[in-house]
Amino acid sequence: MPGLAHIAIAGDHHGVRLIDRIVAVLGARGHHVSDLAPRRGATVDYPPLCAAVGRMVARGEADIGIIVGGSGQGEVIACNKVRGIRAGLVWSEFSVDISRGNNNANVMVIGTKVVDDETALALLDRWLATPFKGGVHAERVAQIARMENGLGEE
C-alpha cells in the first residue's frame, strides 16, 4: 500500500506488546493509526475486536486493518465474518504475497505464537508494500464478494 494510510489495529492479550511496537513504527512513518487494543492485562476476547477493526475497514473509516493474536487462526475466522473484509493470516513472505497480491486482503492477521516480533514487523512491511495484482485475481475476489452477498449460489 504505497503512501500513507489510516490503519485500524487491535488484538487480544497475546498481541499487546507487538501492537505497541507496530503502532510506534507506523506512527513514526506518518500513518494514522486507530489503536483499538485494550490494555487491561487480563484475558481479552478477540471476536469483538476483530469486528470493530473489520467494521472500520468495511465502512471506509480505515484503509486497512491489522489484528494481532496468539495463533491468528480464530482472529482470521472472526474478521472474515464481517461483510467486505478479506483477512489474511500471515506467517511467511509467501502468505503475505498471496493474501495481498492475489486476494487483495484488507486486514492482516498475525499470531505472536507463530512468528517473533522482528519477523512480524518484516511481514508488515512486505504486506504494506505488496500491491494487488488484479487480472484473474480481481475476478476471483469479485466471486468471493458475490458469495458473501448470497449471489451466485446454486
Nearest-angstrom CA–CA distance, 53 and 83: 12
Nearest-angstrom CA–CA distance, 100 and 88: 8
The amino acid sitting at 5 is: A
What's the confidence (pLDDT) of residue 1? Answer: 57
What's the confidence (pLDDT) of residue 152? Answer: 64
On whether the pTM is more than 0.85, the answer is yes
What's the confidence (pLDDT) of residue 154? Answer: 53
Nearest-angstrom CA–CA distance, 153 and 80: 19
- Contact assessment for residue 37 and residue 10, using Cβ atoms and an 8 Å cutoff: yes
Grid cell of 153 as nine digits: 449460489
What's the confidence (pLDDT) of residue 129? Answer: 95
Q: Which regions of the chain are under pLDDT 50?
A: none
What's the confidence (pLDDT) of residue 153? Answer: 56
Domains and their CATH numbers in the chain: 6-148 (3.40.1400.10)
DSSP character string of 78-106: HHTTSTT--EEEESSHHHHIIIIIIT--S
What's the confidence (pLDDT) of residue 47? Answer: 97
